[in-house]
Amino acid sequence: MTIDVQTAGPDPAGRKPAPGPLGLVQAFVNTVSLRTEGRDLLTDRPAAVGWFRGAGVLPPDPVVVTTSEHAGLLRLRDALRAILVARTEGREDEAASAILTRSFADGRLVLTMDAAAGAHWATAARAPYPSMIAAMAIAIAESATAGTWPYLRACAAADCGWAFYDESAATRCSPGH
């Protein structure tokens, strides 16, 4: 399964999106392009709601996201990018990790069991913002279990930060960058 949602531009090297739910995280990080004219698909609250609705995270019902919740989504995106750049550079980013941990707590995650005793992550939240946060946390958790999470990186070039999926030791989103 590949997640196909809008990003702020095409992958600079023409790579395929990350597999499975990790594609959602990759696309979320890539809702802003630092390489081009700074195109940002989450510029305001309605745009953020529209993007998450297009990603299948939110229902078609009317949804309201507050100004502080919108700021929280942007912090989440920036922290994800920072941690992916740190991974690419072979270092840790304690500040980004702390932001992600605090953000994911807002997702109100619970472990559910199905009739066949299968375990699944879900959100206990009924509000839009926690549901958006939970979608990212669940996608990361499922990707970590699948073994794909370590291969999502972000370009280490200061003017880029594009998230890309690559099982090699690549540190840039495209050759020569």
Structural domain contains residue 34: yes
- Model pLDDT, residue 138: 95
Structural domain contains residue 13: no
Least confident residue range of 107-111, 133-137, 141-145, 173-177:
173-177
Kindly report, residue by residue over 117-164, the tens digit of the pLDDT: 888 888 888 889 999 999 999 999 999 999 999 999 998 888 888 999
Domain that holds residue 127: 22-165
**Whole-number Å distance between alpha carbons of 47 and 70:** 10
Kindly report, residue by residue over 24-33, the tens digit of the pLDDT: 999 999 999 8
CATH code for the domain in which residue 51 is found = 1.10.3300.10
Taking the C-alpha atoms of 18, 157, 95 and 100 in order, what is their torsion angle to the nearest 10 degrees?
A: -20
Structural domain contains residue 174: no
| Contact partners, residue 61, CB within 8 Å, separation at least 6 | none
Structural domain contains residue 123: yes
Count Cβ neighbours within 10 Å for each residue of 59-73 and write b for 16 or more, e otherwise: eeeebebeeebbebb
Structural domain contains residue 30: yes
Kindly report, residue by residue over 12-61, the tens digit of the pLDDT: 788 889 999 999 999 999 999 877 667 899 999 999 999 999 999 998 88
Structural domain contains residue 97: yes
Structural domain count of the chain? 1
Structural domain contains residue 110: yes
**In which band, very low, low, confident or very high, does the pLDDT at 167 lie, cut at 50, 70 and 90?**
confident
Angle between helices 67-89 and 128-146 (to 10 degrees): 20
Structural domain contains residue 14: no
**Whole-number Å distance between alpha carbons of 104 and 139:** 12
